[in-house]
A and B are shown apart, each in its own frame.
Chain A
Amino acid sequence: MAVTEIQSGPSLLDRLSRPKPVIALALLLWLPLTAYVMFGHRLGSGAQNVLLPAIPATVLLYVLGVRAFRESRVAVIGLTLVFFWLLMAVSAPYLPLMDPNKPIAPFTTPFTERGDLFFWLGTDFKGRDMLSRMIWGCQRVLVWGVTATMVAYVVGAMFGLISGYLAGWWDEIISFVANVLLSFPVMVLFIVILNYLGPSGFNIVVAVTFASAPAIMRIVRGLALDIKTRDYVYAAQTRGEHPLYIMIFELLPNVRGPIIVDACLRLGYTTVAITTLTFLGLGLQPPDPDWGLMIRESARTAMLWKFSYMLLVPALAVSSLILGFNLLADGLREMSLRD
C-alpha cells in the first residue's frame, strides 16, 4: 500500500489572501464599526458586543496586508500606522480606559497621579482624560472619513465611466459641471455646503462628495478613454452587450489599479478636511470625543506652555493617521510601478 503523500495545499494565510476572504474580513471590520459609530445610541445594550468580531478581523487583515506589501518598507510603515488607529477604534470600548466624557480633575498635567488614578496624558480643561479621548476620538474620523471617500468614489467613478465611455453630450455636460465644481477652492466649497446644510456627519459626506467626485471623475474618465479602445471592449460591443454592462464589467475592473493609490491619498485629504472642519465648528459636534473637537475646545484655554499637551496630543494623533495613509499610497505606487 503506497503511502499517499498528504497534499499540503496553500497555507491558511495564503487562502485568506484571495479577494473574497479579504473583502469578507474588511466587511467584518467595517460594518460593526460603522454601525457602532453611526447608530450606536440606537443599539442599546447590544452596542457593547457589536465590535467584538471586528477585533480579530482587524488583526488578521493587518497580517495579510503586511504579507502582501512586504516588498515595500514604506507601505508596511503606513499600513502599521493606519491599522494601529483602526485597532484602537474597534477596541476602544474594551480597553481599560476612563469615560472620555466624564470630568474628573481639570488641568492635570501628563504622568501625574491624582487620588488613585494615574493620568498618562493628563486631562483637558474640563477634566476629561486625554488618553481615552485620544483613543475614542479616532472612531468618528475614521468612519466618516472612509464613508465619505467611498461615496465620493462611487459617484465620481460612475460619472467618469459615463463621460469617458459614452462621450458626446454626456461628456460635455459632466465635464463642465466638474470644471465648475473644481474651480471652487476646496475649503470654500466645504464652508458653503456645510453652511447651507448645517454641520453633521452625513452632511460632511455630501460636502466631501461634491469636493472630491469631480477630481475622481477626471481620473476615471481619462482611464476609460484609454481602455475603451481595447480589443475586449470591442468584443463586448460586437456581442451586443448593453453599455451599462460594458461600463461595469469590462471597464470598471480595469481602472481599479490606479484608483486604489489615489483612494489612499484621498483618504488622507478627507481626514484632514474632517478634522479641519470640526476645528472650524462646521463638522462633527460635541460632546463625543474627536480630534478636531479636542483642538477646537483647547485652542482658547490651552495657550500656555504647561498646558500645550492638550493641543499636541490630538495634533500628533491626526498627523500620524494621515502620514499612514500617505506612506501607504506612496508604497503602493512604488510597487505598482515596479511590476
Chain B
Amino acid sequence: MLKLILRRLVQMVLIMAVSSLLLFAIFDTPEFKKRLAVQELGGFAVSALTEESYKSWLAGRGLDVPFHQRYLNWVGNILSGDFGFSYEKNRPVGPLLADRLANTGILAFFVFALMIPLSLILGILAGMKEGSLQDRSISFISVFTTSIPEIASAILLTVIFALGLGWLPVKSAMIGGFSFRELVLPVLTLVIYDFGYVARMTRASMAEVMTSQYIRTAILKGLPYRRVVMRHALRNALIAPFTLIVLQLNWLLSGVVVVEVFFEYNGFGKLLLEAALFPDVEVVQACTLVAVAVAVLSQIISDIGYTFLNPRIRFA
C-alpha cells in the first residue's frame, strides 16, 4: 500500500516536471520576451529602446541566462509562491489565482453536492433491474442530457429561467457580493452535463453486481429485496463510481471554462481564457500548472481510494 502511494507520488512529480517544462518551453520565445517588455515598459518605450538597453532589461529580468537556468529560476519562483505578474489585471498572479480558484471551488462544491446524490440514486435505480422500463428511461435521459453541450444547456436554462420566467439573474458576475441566486444557473448547467455520465457508469457497475452469484444467493435465501440491495449490492457497486467521481474534478476544470465565460462568473476558467486572449502569458502558465496539479492529484486520490476500497487489489 505504502509502496503504491510512493510510486504514484514519484509519477506525479515526474509528470508535473515534464508538463511544466513543456509549458515553459512553448512560451520561452524571443517574441514572448518582447511582449513581456512591451507589457512592462509600454509599447513606445520598447520601440525607442536601443539594442543595448533592451539587453540590459533582459539581464535585469534574468532572461539572458541559458535555458535550463531560466527554467530552474522560474520553477524556483513558483515554488516560493511567486507566480509572476498579471499586466491585464495589474496584480501579482498568486493572490489573483487564489481568489479565482476559491470562486471556482464554491461552484465545484455545489456541483458535486448536487451531482453525486442525483447520479448515484439514478444509477442504482437503473442498475437494480436491468432492462426494465425504469432502467431504459433513466438511460435515455442520461444519454440525452450528456448530448447537450454545456454551451447549449447554458443557453436553454438562461432563456427559460432568466429571460422567460425572470426567476434568476442572467449573469453571475457577483458584482454586489456573493449571492446564491446567481450561482443556480452555472451549477445546474454543469450538473446537467455531467450527471448522466456518472449515472451510466454507476448503472453498469450496479448491473454487474446484481447478476453476481452472491446476490442471487442472498435473494434465494429469502432476504428482503431492499436489504439485499442496501446491505449487499451497494458496497461493491459503489467502488467504481467513487473513483469516477474523483476523476470528474479533472473534467470539471475544463467544463468550467465555458460556463464561467458564458455567465461571467469570476472563476478560474474565465481567468484562464481572458489571460489567453489578452495575452497574459504568466497567468496562462500559472493557471495551466495549477490545473495539471489538480488533475494529477485527483488521479492519485482516485487510484489510492480504489485500492483502499477494494480489498481484492489491496492484498494482491
Is the CB of B170 closer than 8 A to any CB of chain A? Answer: yes
Q: Mark B269-307, 1 if CB is under 8 A from A, else 0.
A: 100110011010000100110011001100100000000
Bound-state Cα–Cα, A311 to B251, Å:
25
Taking the closest CB of chain A, its distance from the CB of B160, in whole angstroms, is: 9
Residues of A within 8 A of B250 (CB): 183, 185
Query: A187-B258, A305-B163, A311-B158 known; 4 other A-B pairs, CB under 8 Å?
Result: A190-B254, A192-B284, A280-B261, A318-B149
Q: Mark A165-186, 1 if CB is under 8 A from B, else 0.
A: 0000000000010011001111
Please, could you name 20 A-B residue pairs with CB atoms under 8 Å apart, sorted by A?
A: A179-B11, A180-B19, A183-B15, A183-B295, A183-B296, A185-B253, A185-B291, A191-B276, A192-B23, A192-B26, A195-B279, A195-B284, A275-B151, A276-B151, A279-B151, A279-B258, A295-B155, A303-B170, A315-B156, A323-B147
Contact A280 B147 (CB under 8 A): no
Contact A191 B272 (CB under 8 A): yes
Is the CB of A92 closer than 8 A to any CB of chain B? Answer: no
Q: B residues 52-98 with Cβ under 8 Å of A?
A: none
Bound-state Cα–Cα, A312 to B170, Å:
15
Contact B19 A319 (CB under 8 A): no
Is the CB of B224 closer than 8 A to any CB of chain A? Answer: no
Contact B152 A186 (CB under 8 A): no
The 8 tightest CB contacts between A and B, nearest first, are A187-B254, A315-B152, A323-B147, A185-B253, A185-B254, A195-B276, A315-B155, A272-B149
Bound-state Cα–Cα, A185 to B273, Å:
14
Is the CB of A299 closer than 8 A to any CB of chain B? Answer: yes
Contact A326 B146 (CB under 8 A): yes
Is the CB of A201 closer than 8 A to any CB of chain B? Answer: no
Is the CB of B36 closer than 8 A to any CB of chain A? Answer: no
How many of chain B's residues have a CB under 8 angstroms from any CB in A?
Answer: 48
Contact B19 A184 (CB under 8 A): yes
Is the CB of A2 closer than 8 A to any CB of chain B? Answer: no
Q: A residues 188-227 with Cβ under 8 Å of B?
A: 188, 190-192, 194-196
Taking the closest CB of chain A, its distance from the CB of B241, in whole angstroms, is: 20
Identify A323's interface contact among B11, B144, B170, B276, CB under 8 A.
B144
Identify A282's interface contact among B155, B253, B276, B291, CB under 8 A.
B276
Is the CB of B177 closer than 8 A to any CB of chain A? Answer: no
Residues of A within 8 A of B269 (CB): 187
Q: B residues 13-33 with Cβ under 8 Å of A?
A: 14-15, 18-19, 22-23, 26-27
Q: Which of B155, B269, B277, B295 is the most central at the interface, judged by chain A CB atoms within 10 Å of its CB?
A: B155
Q: Mark B218-231, 1 if CB is under 8 A from A, else 0.
A: 00000000000000
Is the CB of A97 closer than 8 A to any CB of chain B? Answer: no
Bound-state Cα–Cα, A192 to B149, Å:
21
Dominant secondary structure at the A interface: helix
Residues of A within 8 A of B253 (CB): 185, 187-188
Q: Mark A89-111, 1 if CB is under 8 A from B, else 0.
A: 00000000000000000000000
Is the CB of B45 closer than 8 A to any CB of chain A? Answer: no
In the complex, residue of chain B having the shortest beta-carbon distance to the beta carbon of A194:
B276
Bound-state Cα–Cα, A187 to B262, Å:
15
Identify A183's interface contact among B144, B261, B273, B292, CB under 8 A.
B292
Residues of B within 8 A of A258 (CB): none
Taking the closest CB of chain B, its distance from the CB of A280, in whole angstroms, is: 6
Taking the closest CB of chain B, its distance from the CB of A270, in whole angstroms, is: 11
Residues of B within 8 A of A323 (CB): 144, 147-148
Contact A187 B147 (CB under 8 A): no
Identify A327's interface contact among B143, B151, B158, B279, CB under 8 A.
B143
Given A322-B148, A326-B143, A327-B143, do A188 and B272 touch, yes or no (CB 8 Å)?
A: yes
Is the CB of B255 closer than 8 A to any CB of chain A? Answer: yes
Is the CB of B194 closer than 8 A to any CB of chain A? Answer: no
Contact B152 A179 (CB under 8 A): no
Identify A312's interface contact among B15, B159, B273, B276, CB under 8 A.
B159
Residues of B within 8 A of A304 (CB): 163
Bound-state Cα–Cα, A268 to B144, Å:
13
Bound-state Cα–Cα, A183 to B11, Å:
12
Is the CB of B164 closer than 8 A to any CB of chain A? Answer: yes
Residues of A within 8 A of B288 (CB): 184, 188, 192
Q: Mark B35-53, 1 if CB is under 8 A from A, else 0.
A: 0000000000000000000
Given A180-B19, A280-B258, A280-B261, do A319 and B27 touch, yes or no (CB 8 Å)?
A: no
